[in-house]
Every structure is written in structure tokens, then in C-alpha cells.
Amino acid sequence: MMNARICLTLFFSVVSTWADNTTVDFEKEVFPLFQERCIECHQAPHEKNGRLIKPKAGLRMDGLAHLMFGSDDGPVLVPNYPSKSPLYNRVNLPSGDDDLMPPKGDPLTFGQKDLIRRWIGQGADFGSWQGATDGIEDLIREDSLAPEKVPEFVTFYLNLGKGVMPVNQKVLEKAREQSGLHIRTIGQDSPLLEARSVTQFKKVTDEKVAALLPLADNLVHLDLRNTALTSAGCETISKLTRLVYLNLRGCPIEDSGVQQLTTLQNLQSLNLGQTRVTSQGLVGLVKLPALDRLNLWESKAVAPELVRLIKVRPDLEIIK
């Protein structure tokens, strides 16, 4: 995964939409909008009235790999950065601009554009959605600036899943029942799993999270934001050593809890926003070799002490 640049981003309360606790669900909110307004012109080549219709500008929006690959002009989506994403910029052009998207019908409403902005700003999380996978072997850029076939993170998860056996269905159902979490594969035919709390967050306790242990070899995404997980429950998480993404935002955890997470050598993204974690609890975490994004928004970690941590990991993106 690419290294992120150093970033201490200040989020002020007046920017309420960025501080919104509501996570955008791609499959339920964003993809239906794409289906309604975009995919008619940006889908796989197909015949219509005897003519072969190709996706406009070479951009397909019907599959994750295709959308991340972008158009003939290059990538259209930069996770975490709406202002750098042509997909977002094109829907915000003035009325009458030839490049305004979508070109047909009314412009997107403010709410629709803001939904796209928030989704990209939250990391452009697709959940388990993969969409169309036909033709991804042809996603090769001819220019020297973008030589990769498919987006790096897509290849990453394909490689991460190699040799991993799928979880037995009965084991999976038992984990779902006992944990109360929504557990699913991260993509079609992938043995890798993600688990997240979607309702009744405060009923997800340390004991319920312990039900995930039988899935340790397969679990790569874990989202426990706003649950009742405490520092004691972090002992369970420390055993989920294949984790790549971990969200503990709003959990009642403290330094003693996060200090146990130094076993997560594959962890790339960690969200400790709105927790009681201080800079002291982060000393071991910032040394994790794969960690490239740490969210500390509204945590107890203070900027002066963070400066010292940044010197240890100058390539680590810290959001504060």
C-alpha cells in the first residue's frame, strides 16, 4: 500500500458534515445514486439497437476495480481526498460547463453531491461490494505514470487471500449469532472477512467480541465504532493478527487497551477517534510496520506530544 504523507489535519466543529458520526454505506447510499445517474453511460461494452456502446471516456462505474482504475484520462477517485477526485469535481462544475456530470437530466442535488464528498472523505469504503469483475485483466495503462493493471489495494487483498481457507459456514453462523456483528466476505469468492456493528452498538461487549476468535485467520476488517468494547476486550483483538483495518472510534478504551494491539503487524489503518487514548498509549503502535493511517480525532492525544511520535514515523498519516 502507498505511504501517506505526514498530515495533522484539524477538524473544527463548524465543519459538521466531516464530524458526522454517520458512516456512508456505499451499497445502500452511493451505488444506487451511481446506478440512477451514471452507470447508463459508464458500464461494460454492450449492444444497443444493433450498435456496440462503449463506456464514455473509458470509465466504468459498475465494478470496484474498474472505478478505481478510472477513465482514459487517469484515476477519478482519490480515497480521503474529495477535492483531488475528478469524480467529485465533475459533479460540482457550474451549470452549462461542457464537463459537468451527469450530462443529462438535472444536476445532482446538494445532498447527493455531499453524499459523494463524505463517502470519498471517509476513505471511499466499498464495504464488501465488488461489482463487475469482467475485463480487469485488461486494465493496463499505456503511460509510464500508471503501469499497474489493477488498483494496488485490489491486488493486495487478492494476494492476502491466497492460501487462506474459507471459514466453515457453521462456524461463521455461530460467530454471527454470538457476536451480534454483521460478518461477510470482503468480496465475491474471497476467503477474507469483515465484521462490523450495524445496530445496537452498546450491546456489543467484550464477551461478544471474543466470539470472533474462531475467525482469526480470515478477519481483515473490524469495525467496532461506538460499541461497548473496553480495554479488556483489546486482548481479543490482539489475537486477530491478520487485521488490516480496525475502527475503535468512540469505544471506552484507554492506553492499557491499545498497548495490547502491537501484535497486529499487518494493520494499516487504525481509528481511535473519540477515545480516551493519550499520546502515551501510542508509543508502541506507531512502530507497527504496516500502519500508514492513524485517526485520533477528538481523542485525548494532544498535538505537542504527537510531534515526537511523528519523528518516529515520518511516513505515518495522523488525523487529529
Per-residue model confidence (pLDDT) at position 303: 67
Task: Output the average pLDDT for the chain.
Answer: 84
Share of the chain above pLDDT 90, in %: 47
Let me know whether 168 and 315 are in one domain: yes
- Give the pLDDT of residue 152: 64
Mean pLDDT of 242-265: 95
Pick the more confident residue, 138 or 11. 138
Give the Cα separation of 209 and 224 in Å (integer): 9
- Residue 9's CB is within 10 A of a number of other CB atoms, namely 12
Residues 121 and 201 in one domain: no
Based on the fold, state whether residues 136 and 257 are members of the same structural domain: no
* C-alpha gyration radius of the chain: 21
Domains contained in the chain, number = 2
Q: What are the pLDDT digits (tens) for 125-175?
A: 888 788 888 888 777 665 544 444 455 666 777 788 889 999 999 999 999
240 and 277 belong to one structural domain: yes
pTM of the model: 0.59
Residue 42 is placed in which grid cell?
A: 459508464
278 and 202 in a common domain: yes
CATH at residue 272? 3.80.10.10
Domain housing 218: 164-319
Task: Write the pLDDT tens digit of every residue in 96-130.
Answer: 788 889 988 899 999 999 999 889 888 888 887 88
Task: Answer yes or no: are the C-beta atoms of 197 and 224 closer than 8 Å.
Answer: yes
Look at residue 151 in the predicted model and tell me its pLDDT. 59
Q: 120-129, 152-161, 198-207, 296-305: which range is least confident on average?
A: 152-161
pLDDT score at 104: 86
